Amino acid sequence: MRSIFHWFSSPPHDAPKATILLRLMAGSVFLWEGILKFVYVNQGMGRFTKLGFPFPDFTASFVGGLEIVGGLLILLGLGTRFVAVPFLIEMVVAMLSTKIGLYLGTSPLPLPPSPPVTGFWAVLHEVRSEYAQLLTSAFLLCAGPGPWSVDARWARHRTEQGKHKSSSTEIANAPTPTRSSRSLYEPAGSARATRSLTRGSGSNDCDNV
């Protein structure tokens, strides 16, 4: 469990810098689509009512809030992998709930204004937005938000802190240099040797006299 949480909370930050373009695309689309669900009833509660979702008012508010908050997080590159998972689920549910009826010609939503109106090609044409958001979310889940993101900045900060702590630990655990007993008494021994040489030279001078 801990390894799974670590995988989600520590995405790689070595993705190309151009990853920010995908984040800008996906995050902004989720953001304004979430706002539209609160501004226009036909995009929020009315749409979910026609599609037959239970508790359409609550469901529309929940999905709209998720898109607003999640879109902002993707734009910032914060908690990217955590946000990508519910967006993947949302896109799959959106495709299944709207495009099956479009394929069969039984969709409760208004049909496209121009051909193809139903069938396989109509589905391919109308699913383009959900398909792009789905694959972009999958890419961000696997590759991470890239180096220009809050996730990457925090990862670099944690790495620097870890290096600083390890260097401080190495310094603290390093052995303290000690002087040997010989080196402690070396100055005294040198002094005695100097005095003996001085006495010796003095006695020789007297003998010479």
| CA proximity to 74, closest of 158, 139, 154, 127 | 139
Domain ranges of the chain: 2-10+17-144
Rounded mean pLDDT, 43-56: 94
pLDDT digits (tens, 9 = 90+) for 101-151: 999 999 999 989 899 999 999 999 999 999 999 999 999 999 999 999 999
pLDDT digits (tens, 9 = 90+) for 63-87: 999 999 999 999 999 999 999 999 9
Per the model's pLDDT, the better-predicted residue between 21 and 172 turns out to be 21
Give residues with Cβ within 8 angstroms of 3, minimum separation 6. Answer: none
Going by the DSSP 8-state scheme, the letter that residue 40 receives in this structure is -
Cα 110–63–150 angle (5° rounding)? 130
Burial of 177 (0-12, 13-18, 19+ CB in 10 A): exposed
Output the six-digit token pair for 87.
């967006």
Per the model's pLDDT, the better-predicted residue between 64 and 159 turns out to be 64
